Amino acid sequence: MPDQEISLPAKRNQRRWRMAFTAIYFTRVLVSLSKKVLDNQTRLLRSLSYVAIDVNSPRPIPGPFDGIDQKTLTEMVKKRSFESLQQLGGAKQVAAILLTDAKDGISGDEADLTHRREVFGANRHQKPPSKSFISFVFEAFKDTTIIILLVCAFLSLGFGIKQHGPKDGWYDGGSIIVAIVLVIVVSSVSNFKQSKQFEKLSDASSDIKVQVVRDGRHQPISIFDIVVGDIVSLKIGDQIPADGLFLYGYSLKVNESSITGESDHVEVNGTLNPFLISGTKVMDGFGSMLVTSVGMNTAWGEMMSSITRILEEQTPLQARLDKLASHIGRVGLSVAILVLAVLMIRYFTGSTRDENGKREYKGSKTRVSDIVNSVVEMIAAAVTILVVAIPEGLPLAVTLTLAYSMMRMIKDNAMVRKLSACETMGSATTICTDKTGTLTLNKMTVTEFWLGKELIKDDASKAIEPEIFKLLQEGVALNTTGTVDTTHASSIPEISGSPTETAILSWAVFDLNMNINETKQNCEVIHVEAFNSEKKRSGILTRKFEDREIHTHWKGAAEMILAMCSNYCVGSGALKGMNADDRLEFEKIIQCMAAKSLRCLAFAYKKVTHDNEEEVSKKLEEAELTLLGFVGLKDPCRPGVRTAVESCKNAGVNVKMITGDNTLTARSIAFECGILHPDDDIEKAVVEGSQFRNYSPEERMTRIEDIRVMARSSPFDKLLMVQCLKQKGHVVGVTGDGTNDAPALKEADIGLAMGIQGTEVAKESADIIILDDNFTSVVTVLRWGRSVSNNIQKFLQFQLTVNVAALAINFVAAVSFGNVPLTAVQLLWVNLVMDTLGALALATEQPTNDLMGKPPMGRSEPLITKIMWRNLIAQALYQLAVLLTLEFKANSIFGVNERIKNTIIFNTFVLCQVFNEFNARNMEKKNIFKGIHRNKLFIVIIGITIVLQVLMVELLTRFAGTERLNSGQWGACIGIAAVSWPIGFLAKCIPVSGKQLQNK
């Protein structure tokens, strides 16, 4: 009884919810019925008023999906169980159980989608928990230098309190601890933010678009929005977004290596293997699948939930910087050990004196606590020198630069998948680009139609004889992967598919008034040969229901289809044999269309004769076809492409166009884009793919530099060109969008996949995804790539100046006086400010036009160039001279005590770095203030640094071990530091050998 009492309200609530859902759904159905019937060809009688209701049975209202559960569906696909599928009645019966129309899909309204997600789950994978901020803090604490400093800090704190009492004894040790905490916090915050940035990038790269059928309409949606019961359209290059069953399609082959590890392509069909696994990729053919499991219920979901995509891979530049940092660290360690030895010797020989001039070590009279305290201070000073010597800011500068560049590049329509591509792009010497969609808009329209030798201009549907019109309609309607949706919501057909298919279908529907869907209903498709980049054509074998006639239809590149034809149609509808003269005339038509930058496609057919319908061969005839006609598709160049190509040339980057189009079409577009110029040797600059692959290896390497355009190329030709360019020493960037471009994208130094038209296979093989498919965005990536390397070099020059000056002044002072003018806290402050704030200021410099006026950086160019050495040495020598002068003469010059003298040295040292930060903004130009207003962050960081330095000197005297300075002393510090600007100006007047030749 208690159980029944508890369950009654739950059942009542469930019943109410179902009634509400039924009412809403039925109302929506009624609203749509009157519109649907008006779209039918049924004629209505005149009446004063009427309500039109289609008496077809409405879709079933989603209920509890009786007769099936998620576990059954999941296990059936995972185990590829034919027995389970047969028990359910096959794929179409499973669709019926899931309340899915096998043709029109699910309704797609929000209530239906919500219900399906509640029952079967959403298409999202559970990720391992991301690292917390605390974990980054612990990682920072593991640093050996930090541990040594902490030991010194606690020893200093203990002995200080014992010697001077709790009130005054904590300053030295406490100051070091505070400084260490600041360093750890800044490092942890930076790494934590970078981790979050990578997570966002991972989510963005996982969010792909898939084509589904809902309510009879083909529409692109996010992979995360797919639900069980959806019908997904699949084509070459698509990633299968969920587990499911094959419904219909042709020649569908899938690469399941991501699941099984086997590289062989698996054929999927309705009889032998109807199971489709999420995460696999379509390599050939096309089809539709019924989604049966999503998210964590799929095999891919289980696998991905235990894997975190590692985006924090170390880039080549980071590896080189780590190596450099280790070398500098060894030098710093040697100096620190030497300083410690000198300080120890001077202390225990009685040469070290305190502030009052008394000897600090008096042999047995000295208390043990004083000895230990002094030794701890000396160890702390030596360790701090080591901390400053190690350029810890270098990895941080690279991280900040790459993270900032990635964030800005996404705004500029480029999503980085591999960090190393950012810096490699700065060294690119050659870019091999596609034509369609990259240099052109990829918005194709049919502008010419030739029937035989006659150009059909006006009212094409009336100009074509009925018999020819029917054949052409078959070729267009059946031999396509595009779709024409005529929904009840609109009288205008919605056309979807690739740009080429969309253009042809739009021409057929709107210009020729063809009824595409009716033609599909009147014919049976026997066999399909899907389009691929090697054959450059697609074919289909069909049978009419009416007269059982069987036709082969081909569509593809005009010259390739023409080579298969022996007859052609004329305007009257008659068929004529094609002789040599006719073939020459057709070739001239194709050439004229190509010269006008038109992509020329041809339609051809052949009637198949047979004795018995069952004996019809599924092999498509490829000879003695009848030419139906040509269409010319116009794809205009993108605005700004010519300027972008010129920018690349000015930057010393060669642009080569590789396309599958006709040679004349490719050449025409190349002239329009500025890749070719009238004074170029066209014979050398333009080749066909077949010519290129038939060259001998020696001839290929000789001619590779001159080639600007490769037409009629296959994916193998593209790969071969990339390999030859790399052998020549070029750093190669390649753009691609098709599945067959994957080998070239992987082989290239930088693979750039197209985000709109690119297949998932191409995107997976690429390093960077161009989100708008625009060549101008490729140039933007090039600019950012150069900016990354340039910003890191700026910081490297700045950092090494700090290291050299700090090491030199402390070493000389230790040897000369037995103590160091810059205390542990002061050096930690310099390390914090110069490493972190300096990296942030210089790493966020935006790319300038000057970067695109320089030649590309070579693969083996040293990290520290001659220009950097010149600037670095000039500033380091000046700072060293000034600081040593202050160390030896400040007492007499300013008439101050030792503590104020050390404060002046510290203040001058920090201000020198602030002024030198301006010099580091531009390593070559004398005007260091140009464009400074565009980097507001730089100005803010300089302001913060100055304010913090004032606080260190004037207010935090106990913490920093400083004394307050008067206005005259401040003026002297600022004046000495400001001389860094004229020093930098004069240094840039010194010529660097080889620079002029390099620029030339």
- SS3 labels along 128-171: CCCCCHHHHHHHHHCCHHHHHHHHHHHHHHHHHHHHHHHHHCCH
Of 281-285, 456-460, 735-739, 963-967, minimum mean pLDDT range: 456-460
DSSP type of residue 345: H
| Pair 650, 853: CB distance under 8 Å | yes
| Residues paired with residue 219 on neighbouring β-strands, in sequence order | 212
Q: Which of 101, 172, 284, 434 is catalytic?
A: 434
**Predicted pLDDT at 44:** 37
pLDDT for 603 beyond 90: yes
| Euclidean distance between CA atoms 888 and 813, whole angstroms | 9
| Euclidean distance between CA atoms 358 and 940, whole angstroms | 46
In sequence order, the 6+-apart residues with CB closer than 8 A to the CB of 735 are 431, 432, 433, 434, 438, 752, 753, 754, 770, 775, 778
Options 3.40.50.1000, 3.40.50.720, 3.20.190.10, 3.30.70.1450; CATH for 414-441+638-773 is 3.40.50.1000
pLDDT for 310 beyond 50: no
- Across the range 406-432, mean pLDDT stands at 85
Rounded (10°) CA dihedral 31, 33, 38, 39: 110
Residue 385: its H or E element: helix 368-389
Residue spans per domain, the chain:
70-125+211-299, 126-210, 388-404+783-989, 414-441+638-773, 445-634
pLDDT for 273 beyond 50: yes
**Predicted pLDDT at 507:** 92
- Which of 158-162, 407-411, 579-583 tops mean pLDDT? 579-583
| Pair 270, 91: CB distance under 8 Å | yes
Map residue 594 onto helix, strand or coil.
helix
pLDDT in tens, 908-952: 999 999 999 999 988 888 888 888 888 888 899 899 999 989 998
In sequence order, the 6+-apart residues with CB closer than 8 A to the CB of 603 are 472, 475, 476, 553, 554, 555, 561, 627, 628, 629, 630, 631
pLDDT in tens, 782-814: 999 888 888 888 888 888 888 888 888 877 877
R_g over Cα of the chain: 37
pLDDT in tens, 879-910: 989 988 988 888 888 888 888 998 999 999 99
State yes or no: is 54 an active-site residue.
no
Region 445-634: CATH code: 3.40.1110.10
- Across the range 766-773, mean pLDDT stands at 88
Which token pair is 279?
């995460």
Q: 298-334 as b/e, with b when 16 or more CB fall inside 10 Å?
A: bbbbeebeeeeeebeeebebbeebeebbeebbeebee
**Predicted pLDDT at 41:** 40
CA nearest to 1000, candidates 853, 816, 782, 789? 853
CATH class of 388-404+783-989: mainly alpha
Cα atoms found within 13 Å of the Cα of residue 525, Cβ hemisphere only: 21
- Chain centroid to CA 218: 27
Map residue 183 onto helix, strand or coil.
helix
pLDDT for 839 beyond 70: yes
| Euclidean distance between CA atoms 417 and 406, whole angstroms | 9
**Predicted pLDDT at 345:** 85
Cα distances (Å, whole numbers) of residue 469 to 148, 493, 602, 900? 87, 20, 15, 99
| Euclidean distance between CA atoms 698 and 279, whole angstroms | 42
- Chain centroid to CA 996: 36
Which token pair is 936?
């507001």
- Across the range 824-838, mean pLDDT stands at 74
**Predicted pLDDT at 37:** 43
| Pair 74, 293: CB distance under 8 Å | yes
| Residues paired with residue 341 on neighbouring β-strands, in sequence order | none
Which token pair is 366?
């000295």
Q: ∠ CA(16), CA(19), CA(25), 5° rounding?
A: 140
**Predicted pLDDT at 35:** 44
Rounded (10°) CA dihedral 163, 164, 165, 166: -110
pLDDT for 955 beyond 50: yes
Residue 776: its H or E element: helix 775-817
**Predicted pLDDT at 357:** 66
> Scanning the structure block, which residue is given the tokens 């066999």?
527
% of the chain beyond a pLDDT of 70: 84
- Across the range 10-21, mean pLDDT stands at 61
Which token pair is 604?
């051809």
| Euclidean distance between CA atoms 424 and 477, whole angstroms | 46
Cα distances (Å, whole numbers) of residue 961 to 386, 410, 859, 906, 955? 20, 46, 47, 10, 11
Cα atoms found within 13 Å of the Cα of residue 328, Cβ hemisphere only: 24
**Predicted pLDDT at 445:** 92
CA nearest to 746, candidates 766, 720, 726, 731? 766
| Pair 439, 639: CB distance under 8 Å | no
| Pair 797, 838: CB distance under 8 Å | no
| Euclidean distance between CA atoms 520 and 313, whole angstroms | 51
pLDDT in tens, 458-515: 776 777 888 899 999 999 999 998 888 876 555 688 888 888 899 999 999 988 889 8
- Across the range 405-421, mean pLDDT stands at 83
**Predicted pLDDT at 918:** 92
| Pair 980, 921: CB distance under 8 Å | no
Region 70-125+211-299: CATH code: 2.70.150.10
pLDDT for 185 beyond 50: yes
Assign 631 a pLDDT band (cuts: 50, 70, 90).
very high
> Scanning the structure block, which residue is given the tokens 């203990």?
158
- Across the range 612-619, mean pLDDT stands at 64
> Scanning the structure block, which residue is given the tokens 């004083």?
370
pTM of the model: 0.74
The sign one gets for the Cα dihedral 595, 596, 598, 603 is negative
- Across the range 839-844, mean pLDDT stands at 81
pLDDT for 551 beyond 50: yes
| Pair 403, 194: CB distance under 8 Å | yes
Map residue 362 onto helix, strand or coil.
coil
| Euclidean distance between CA atoms 967 and 973, whole angstroms | 10
Residue 557: its H or E element: strand 550-557
| Euclidean distance between CA atoms 249 and 889, whole angstroms | 89
Rounded (10°) CA dihedral 162, 164, 170, 172: -110
Residue 513: its H or E element: none
**Predicted pLDDT at 50:** 44
Of 153-162, 196-205, 519-528, 605-614, minimum mean pLDDT range: 196-205
| Euclidean distance between CA atoms 455 and 471, whole angstroms | 18
| Pair 785, 426: CB distance under 8 Å | yes
Q: Which tops the pLDDT comparison, 187 or 895? A: 895
Which token pair is 544?
């009419």
pLDDT for 690 beyond 60: yes
pLDDT for 665 beyond 60: yes
**Predicted pLDDT at 660:** 85
Cα distances (Å, whole numbers) of residue 442 to 415, 436, 742? 21, 6, 20
| Euclidean distance between CA atoms 811 and 335, whole angstroms | 7
**Predicted pLDDT at 613:** 58
Of 29-38, 115-124, 203-212, 286-295, minimum mean pLDDT range: 29-38
pLDDT for 24 beyond 70: no
Cα distances (Å, whole numbers) of residue 308 to 127, 130, 200, 202? 7, 9, 13, 9
Cα distances (Å, whole numbers) of residue 140 to 143, 312, 649? 6, 17, 45
Mean pLDDT of the chain: 82
| Euclidean distance between CA atoms 488 and 468, whole angstroms | 31
What DSSP line would sit under 920-938, residue for residue?
Answer: HT-SS-S-TTTTGGG-HHH
Which token pair is 201?
């990038």
pLDDT for 36 beyond 50: no
| Euclidean distance between CA atoms 411 and 426, whole angstroms | 19
Map residue 859 onto helix, strand or coil.
coil
User: If you count DSSP H runs as helices and E runs as strands, how many of each does the chain have, helices first?
Assistant: 38, 26
Strands of 277-338 (E only): list them: 281-293
Which token pair is 640?
């700004």
Region of 72 on the Ramachandran plot (φ > 0 left; ψ -120 to 50 alpha; else beta): alpha
| Euclidean distance between CA atoms 679 and 695, whole angstroms | 25
Assign 207 a pLDDT band (cuts: 50, 70, 90).
confident
CA nearest to 373, candidates 64, 570, 160? 160
Assign 322 a pLDDT band (cuts: 50, 70, 90).
confident
pLDDT in tens, 85-141: 888 888 999 998 898 998 889 988 888 898 999 888 898 877 767 778 888 888 878
**Predicted pLDDT at 832:** 67
**Predicted pLDDT at 583:** 94
Q: Which tops the pLDDT comparison, 592 or 863? A: 592
